[in-house]
Structure 1
Amino acid sequence: MYINGEALIGDGNEVAHIDLLIGDKEGPIGQAFANALANPVEKHTPLFAVVAPNMVCKPITMLLPKVSIQNLDDTTKIFGPAQRAVAMAVSDCVEDGTIMKEMVEDICILCGVFIHPEAEDPDKIYEYNYEATKLAIKRAFADEPSIEEILAKKDSLKHPFFYR
């Protein structure tokens, strides 16, 4: 069994979109976690969320870039502000009780991270990815949105990249 969360925060090229799965290390999410690390896809290198080098966050979290890493500039965005943002959001969710401390050694998080190739501001990349990750985790543990909310709002909401 696993839970999932999603959040979009920010605007412009620095917009952050997070999709995540949280589950037991011994279950399908744990297997997917190990497979992602053992079988990286070219230009979509998975990486651990770290507060700083030699300091992974817990629960262990893996960033999965949703956009191809094309060059050193792209690499610096994901292996810098985005990586720290996700790690800090996970750590803060443990600190505030959203994720119980008792479960940090038993679960893992797969975190899809969108970084626009034309994003330029590392502070905004950090801020938006931090907020999006924290919101996605909170939504995952709260089972949000509910099916009632989805059905109530589905015909009135607009998608930011599809205008029909």
Structure 2
Amino acid sequence: MSEIWLRVGEATVLAAEGQFTDAMPEVMIGHVRGPVGQAFAAMAGQAAGHPRMLVIRDLNQMVRPATMMTTKVTVNSSAYVELLGGVVQAATGDAIVDLLAEGILPKDQADDLCMIIMIWLDRRCASDPNLDQKDLYRTNYEATRLAITRALRGEPTADQLIANRRSVQHYALEGIIET
């Protein structure tokens, strides 16, 4: 595989019925000496309301490629941070290691690449007494795998987007605009 300078991907995996555990990660992957590496280094430290953390699978088990995760929404509770730095971080880390093991992420470039993953976690998760943490893990694991795989494969391709232009529309436009 040639050097990866900048690849992007996203995915959405929907929650089980009655849960707020939808996962919608957006990922940037690139060489540590390229634009993603520069952005990664610039993210060191914290930004009010948007915690940044290296992805670990457990104590002393930081993933490779080095990955920084942050939120797409402003964090306003410690319960939210606990979910983000617990179940969501574990799911993200496990997905990355599994992609390495499967060869989708190139193991021979694991120290030359870095990733930034922007996480969306519904704020209602932090206060939901019926939160299904297994579903939270599932959605984030599956969506992370899909986002990274799409980034590395360049999906959807321009041809795929053109082919489905009339059959796919943004969910917010349902019933508003005819395709």
CA RMSD of aligned residues (A): 1.2
Change (3 A) 1:117 1:159: same
CA-to-aligned-CA distance 1:83-131 (integer Å, 9 cap, x gap): 0111111100000000111100000000011000012322111110100
For residues 164 and 12 of structure 2, the distance between their equivalents in structure 1, rounded to whole angstroms, comes to 17
Matched, 1:77 2:83: yes
Q: Show the 5 A alignment for 1:13-162.
A: 13-38=20-45, 40-119=46-125, 120-162=131-173
1:31-67 deviation per Cα after TM superposition (whole angstroms, max 9, x unaligned): 10011123x3211011111110211010111111111
- In 1, Cα distance between the equivalents of 2:116 and 2:124? 24
Sequence identity percentage? 28
Alignment gaps of 5+ in structure 2? 126-130
Q: How far apart in 1 are the matches of 2:107 and 2:21?
A: 31
TM-score by length of 1: 0.94
* TM-score relative to the length of structure 2: 0.87
SS in 2 for 1:5: strand
Q: Quick one: distance in 2 between partners of 1:81 and 1:160?
A: 28
Cα distance in 2 between the residues matched to 1:155 and 1:25? 39
Look up the match of 1:2. Answer: 6
Larger Rg, first or second structure (1 or 2)? 2
Paired with 2:43 and 2:136, the residues of 1 have a C-alpha distance of 24
User: Which protein has the bigger strand share?
Assistant: 1
Q: Unpaired segments of 5 or more residues in structure 1? A: none
After TM superposition, which residue ranges in structure 1, 4 or more long, deviate above 6 angstroms?
A: none
Letter in 1 for 2:89: Q
Structure 1 residue matching 2:90: 3-state secondary structure? helix
